[in-house]
Structure 1
């Protein structure tokens, strides 16, 4: 009897251990699946927000131009710290919206898309309406200020940092809004993981690259002073390429504004989204169809972005004129 009871007890223990092992495996699979989901959603969010990054990168690199060479990295670091503070504000705000007002996600995305289109159109309009000599005069003014010991460079730096942090807040809000739209239907834990991951990755990535870009000219100058002919040639190449890199980033950033902003607006209007999708499917029947299937929807998104940006800019200018007239009366 005792032997039978002992065997029964051992059998129960073995059964319990099997159950524990099975539950552990299931939990491990669920954790792995959740980690995979977070990884996939983070990748998707990164792809969708990549369009904003070109502009973020170009704008922040431009904000630092005009600062003395030895102060460039401290200024970039100060802006990066401000960017982290922006994310600390924006990520919880996005999570609260997702938890208590999920209906607001699409309107916020549409507003962010419209703002992107407006900002892109404003940049193009500013470039077309400003003569080249005005930009040269501004550059010379900054150079004279840096060379003048009477100018308070600390105050200039603070103004630049404040301006860059304000710009970062707007672009960060757009990145967080796009990311939130990607994970809006995911469980809360995954939303926290993806939003936090994107916020950290984007901040480190953008400001790491900005620091590298603003020091490119210093690297070029250092290499031109070397004894090796190859090093001097590389240094001269970097010095020649650096201004073109900045121009390229600015152009890519502006194009990305229209593509991303227009894409957001198109996705927010079902009829427009279906029309663009149908055009892409029709284009896939053309020669090299796979290429047209990608290009046509993106070109249409860009057209929508340009038109929307022009309309918003016209509305803003009209509002300013009306407000100016009412203020003068």
Structure 2
């Protein structure tokens, strides 16, 4: 669980508590729901930099701003009203939406693993020649906003599931607060990440030897950071997607996989003493990722080898 994000959400809750009692209820619920959605947030923050790297440095921040606006529109104008209507009139559908989102994350994560292991790539990649930078930027931005819609939908569904018992106004406030804060956190972090090498380059030109060393370090660290983010994003997709699938099957009455995963978690917790809590969580996360890898691999096989989905998808950029 990313302590920085949870701490930030806790800070938001504290600030909101000082405003009014009604806002306090919303902030507390938002902190609880936001921490539950943290795994999807990791994936969102890890995936997005790939959409702006490789383009002109002068276009990086404008592209991030376009994606940020698209993300806010996704969350506040599309997903928020839909989630509220769903929770009011068809709450039983929430678990199925979570399962669909979990399946999508499993598919995305498994496809990345398959491609890393030498499988066929689907869609254009950053290694392809860019013949029309303007059109390529438009495609990249559109692809990022589409991906954000899926991830935002999962965040909102997780949030809604956490506050389903609250009254209508509290649900609306929580969804709006979580959607806004997470968007600011994710794309603020993305902006810092993609401009890190530019900041480092500027620091290398300072007179201070300390600033120069820090600048060279930032520039040198950038390729490794992007690689690490790609790995983290894939792991987060599988961990979160698998966890959602396990929880969803349990809620729908299919208990076997959920019981196996939690049984292993409890066995590890009981055997390792002081390390048991962390290692038990890690065991459950690993088994969740394994479930997602299997399910996602099956989905990828069906889509690409039976339905031939994505074979002509040259315009969409693989992230």
Residue 11 of structure 1: aligned partner: none
CA distance in 2, matches of 1:253, 1:37: 32
Match of 2:102 among 110, 113, 125: 113
Partner of 1:304: 291
Residue 307 of structure 2 aligns to a residue in which SS? helix
Q: Higher Cα Rg: structure 1 or 2? A: 1
Q: TM-score, normalised by structure 2?
A: 0.81
Q: Deviations over 1:179-217 (max 9, x none)?
A: 122222222122111111111011111111111111111
1:283, CA displacement in angstroms? 2.1
Give the corresponding residue for 2:41.
53
Q: Deviations over 1:109-168 (max 9, x none)?
A: 111111111110011112222699xx9x954834xx5xxxxx5x4333222222221121
Out of 30, 33, 40, the residue aligned to residue 28 of structure 2 is: 40
User: Partner of 2:89 in structure 1?
Assistant: 100
Answering whether residue 90 of structure 2 is matched by residue 89 of structure 1, we say: no
8 Å CA contact retained: 2:43, 2:236: yes
1:29-178 matched pairs, under 5 angstroms: 32=21, 35-87=23-75, 88-129=77-118, 138-139=126-127, 141-142=129-130, 151=132, 153-178=133-158
RMSD between aligned residues: 2.6
Q: Normalized per residue, which structure has more helix?
A: 1
Structure 1 range deviating more: 70-79 or 277-286 = 277-286
Q: Whole-Å Cα distance in 1 between the matches of residues 56 and 209 of structure 2?
A: 28
In 2: Cα distance, 1:298 partner to 1:173 partner: 22
Alpha-carbon distance in structure 2 between the residues aligned to 1:230 and 1:130: 45
Alpha carbons of 1:233 and 1:197: their partners in 2 closer, same or farther (altered >3 Å)?
A: same
Report what 1:8 is aligned to: none
1:242 offset after TM fit, Å? 1.1
CA deviation profile, 1:270-300 (whole Å, cap 9, x unmatched)? 2132332232222222133333332222222
Distance in 1 (CA, whole Å) between partners of 2:46 and 2:265 is: 31
Matched-pair contact (CA < 8 Å) for 1:57–1:210:
yes
Residue 280 of structure 1 aligns with which residue?
Answer: 265
The equivalent position to 1:225 in structure 2, one of 190, 199, 205, is: 205
Structure 2 match to 1:238: 218
Report deviation, 1:94: 0.8
Q: Does the Cα contact within 8 Å between 1:121 and 1:306 map onto a contact in 2?
A: yes
- Secondary structure of the corresponding residue to residue 185 of structure 1: coil
| Secondary structure of 2:129 counterpart | helix
- 8 Å CA contact 1:220, 1:236 repeated in 2: yes
TM-score by length of 1: 0.79
Aligned positions, number: 283
Q: Deviations over 1:49-78 (max 9, x none)?
A: 111122212222110112211221111111
Q: Return the match for 1:209 from 183, 186, 189.
A: 189
Q: Matches of 2:219 and 2:128 in 1, distance apart?
A: 19
Give the Cα separation in 1 of the matches to 2:192 and 2:64.
10
Task: Measure, in 2, the Cα distance between the counterparts of 1:224 and 1:131.
Answer: 40
- Secondary structure of the corresponding residue to residue 190 of structure 1: helix
SS at match of 2:206: coil
5 Å-filtered alignment, 1:163-202, equals 163-202=143-182
